[in-house]
Amino acid sequence: MAAVTFDYKAWAARYPELSRSVTDVQAQAYFNEACLYCDNTECSPVRDDSVGGQRSMFLNMITAHIAALNASANGVDASPLVGRIASATEGSVTVQTDNQYPPGGAQWFQQTKYGAAFFAASAQFRTMFRVPGYSRPADPYRRY
């Protein structure tokens, strides 16, 4: 097993709306940052590291999420709003956001459709799993 390497052409083909405003150098930096959120080492719980495999898709989703949060499109900076829009008015422009997700949950990921997709798809890896190891016999009278 090895680390997934970033493929800008594949990422741009999957996320063309982002590739118009994100250069390959920026996307590589976003991918490197995505590795903070999804382990890209041989110890990763996401075992499928093949080209187009599960870990590659997860990292590309997070890269798209980070790009959507940070990149400007058509000369307009990314929105500084955090969370979903709870209410909006037009006269004298008022926007209220809401980020009422449980702490340690999906707040950061729910800001874009890419992050929400990653959070939903990676749910299986956020459950407890057993790591086998040494276990003691249950018989307290047994001589060792």
Full domain range(s) for residue 35: 8-80+109-125
Per-residue pLDDT, averaged over 88-101, amounts to 81
12-41 residue pLDDT tens:
999 998 988 899 999 999 999 999 999 898
Distance CA 142, CA 144 (A): 6
Which residue did the predictor score with more confidence, 144 or 125?
A: 125
Residue 131 lies in a domain: no
Per-residue pLDDT, averaged over 75-94, amounts to 76
Q: How many domains does the chain have?
A: 1
Residue 53 pLDDT: 86
Residue 19 lies in a domain: yes
Q: Count the neighbouring beta carbons within 10 Å of the beta carbon of residue 67.
A: 27
- pLDDT class of 59 with cuts at 50, 70, 90: very high
